Chains A and B, each alone.
Chain A
Amino acid sequence: MSTPNDDAGGELGYAEAMTQLEGILGELEGDHLDVDVLAERVRRASELIKLCRTRISRAQDDVNRIVTDLEVFESELGGVAPADGDEDELEGDVAAHEGDELF
């Protein structure tokens, strides 16, 4: 699941969610709210809190390691430009380091 920090992907970002939540809290702390408005604000706050927590926490039954192939990130962007020649050459060099002493 993508966990954006902004709205670029169309999903609500964490910063925006927090801004909305703090806005709601400010309203609740302020002057007396109409009960209908209060219910709506609490419903929205519930949604936002749930949304953030679900995204941040790894599902308990998720046995997958957190490491993901870079290609997965690349595919999420709809593919990225291929490496230039120099980097292709280096990619071979990088792959060939297997067996070297590693730290």
Chain B
Amino acid sequence: MDEPTLSVTELNTTIRDAVRGAIPENAWVRGEVQGFRESRAGHVYFQLVEKDERRNRVQAALDVALFRSHLMTVHAALRKVPGVELADDVEVRVKGHIDVYPPTGRLQLIMTGIDPVFTAGALAANRDRVLRQLEAEGLLRANGVHELPEVPLRIGLVTSAASAAYHDFVDELDASGFAFRVGVCDVRVQGANAPRRVVWALRRLARISSALDAVVLVRGGGSRADLAPFDSDDVARAIVAMPLPVLTGIGHEIDRSVADEVAHTASKTPTASAQVLVERVMEFVYRLDDVSRGVVHNARSNCALALRELRDCARRARRGPPAALAREQAVVERHRVRAEELGTRTVKQAIATLDGSERTLSSAGGRLVRAEGRRLDASAARLRALDPTRVLERGYTITRDRDGQVVKRAAPLSTGDRLLTEFADGTAASVVQDVDKREP
């Protein structure tokens, strides 16, 4: 054993010193964050990886340690660019020095800083690249050609079923009172595999598209990196290929995602996306209401016109010779009876339809319809106030003569006339003893 033999500590220390000498103190390294975790002591550890772009496989990896002492500096830098954060799957450019930890021989980057503008730029550059490509292929508005049905009640939903986004969307539809039915394709919409999962969900719904009126893709708010899956080329192309309208409700404040750009209708939140559907149904209900009122109104007018014409006919018949008069009067009478019967029934039927419609409408449409209901309640209250029995309850009475005619004035009365006065709780008979007539 003539050659010198190093202990493991000596070797690791030699490597550490060589690395420290070879690499600048503040080296910048770029890569994608994987395995992000925080220790109980408040330190952060992750791997920085470089992937083969074509196959999405890791080609190289480097352990990174961000100690609590530098965490404040990094957070301060991140706050300067809203929406950028340090998390899994995010492309970052970080600063630090390379070190070897002798007890384990592990080589790691001791991180001291971050360039958030790089991350924002990488996300934006990817988004722009995908958008340019889709536009060049004429696919940006491809899903928009599918018409959203007038009553879109059958919905395929792509989201994480335990998320706030899911509850916001479903609760909004539920509150409408309309007969929505939602089939949920439960997928996690965050992380490296999110685009693949979303594509899978969309394809699954595409297979049952004839049982659906629309597909909705929702996710709650998040950082730009969180929303990156919605900028992916694969998700965009899956939306484009859908045979029915795709609505998005992806929580974001600043940019629209690529998914928003290719969707039929993009909303800023899951709740807003649900409102698009509710309002679409509501529009149809209002149209139905208008037609219903129109039918009643025109049915009344038509019946009134028919009766008027029959009366005119009867008048003309009376002016004719006696034999013709008898014949024509009989015909007219038959027509009159038939017209009155049909007319009365028709109008009643039309009114019943409208009444029924309003009752049904009151049970649907949630918030919007409750307002309509309040308006009808107010009308009913006004009608109740005019009810004669209510008037009697307020102390007024109705007085009738022996023929049952309401006595409105003193002028026709004479001493000895018998009257019947109606109170709210009964009647009283009386005899006029004296009449004091005032000049009108």
Binding site for B on A (CB under 8 A): 1-3, 5-6, 8, 14-15, 18, 21-22, 24-25, 28-29, 32-33, 35-36, 38-39, 42-43, 45-46, 49-50, 52-58, 60, 65-70, 72-74, 76-77, 80-81, 83, 87, 90-91, 93-94, 97, 100-103
Contact = CB atoms under 8 A, between A and B. Distances in A.
The secondary structure that dominates the A interface is: helix
Contacts of A80: 207-208
B173 interface: yes
A98 B162 CA distance: 9
B181 A66 contact: yes
A73 B208 contact: yes
Given A14-B149, A46-B352, 12 more contacts: A3-B179, A14-B150, A38-B342, A42-B299, A53-B285, A58-B179, A60-B363, A65-B170, A66-B182, A74-B207, A94-B200, A103-B226
A73 B226 contact: no
A24 B430 CA distance: 58
A89 B88 CA distance: 23
Contacts of A28: 294-295, 298-299, 302
B220 A103 contact: yes
Contact size class for B?
A: 35 or more
B291 A45 contact: yes
Given A18-B287, A50-B356, A58-B178, A103 B190 contact: yes
24 contacts: A21-B288, A25-B294, A32-B305, A35-B339, A36-B342, A38-B302, A42-B346, A43-B349, A46-B352, A53-B356, A55-B153, A57-B361, A65-B170, A65-B174, A66-B179, A66-B182, A76-B211, A77-B208, A83-B204, A91-B200, A93-B197, A97-B187, A103-B163, A103-B189
B276 to A, nearest CB: 16
Interface string B330-360: 0000000011001101100110110011001
B364 to A, nearest CB: 4
B357 A67 contact: no
Contacts of B196: 90
Contacts of B261: none
A33 B309 CA distance: 12
A28 B296 CA distance: 10
Given A73-B183, A103-B190, A15 B364 contact: no
Contacts of A90: 196-197, 200
B184 interface: yes
Interface in B93-151: 149-151
Contact of A55 (B179, B222, B306): B179
A69 B204 CA distance: 13
Interface of B: 149-154, 156, 160, 162-165, 170, 173-174, 177-191, 193, 196-197, 200-201, 203-205, 207-208, 210-213, 219-220, 222, 226, 281, 284-285, 287-288, 291-292, 294-295, 298-299, 302-303, 305-306, 309, 338-339, 342-343, 345-346, 349-350, 352-353, 356-357, 360-361, 363-364
B203 A87 contact: yes
B298 A46 contact: no
Contacts of A67: 170, 182-184
B159 to A, nearest CB: 9
Contact of A49 (B188, B220, B302, B353): B353
Contacts of B342: 35-36, 38-39
Contacts of B165: 103
Contacts of A69: 183
A16 B350 CA distance: 21
B197 A66 contact: no
B288 A53 contact: yes
A36 B335 CA distance: 11
Interface centre among B204, B298, B338, B364 (most CB of A within 10 A): B298
Contact of A35 (B149, B343, B353): B343
A47 B36 CA distance: 62
Nearest to A24: B295
A52 B288 contact: yes
Nearest to B359: A53
A45 B290 CA distance: 12
Contacts of B285: 53, 56
Contacts of A68: 181-183
B151 A35 contact: no
A54 B288 CA distance: 12
A95 to B, nearest CB: 9
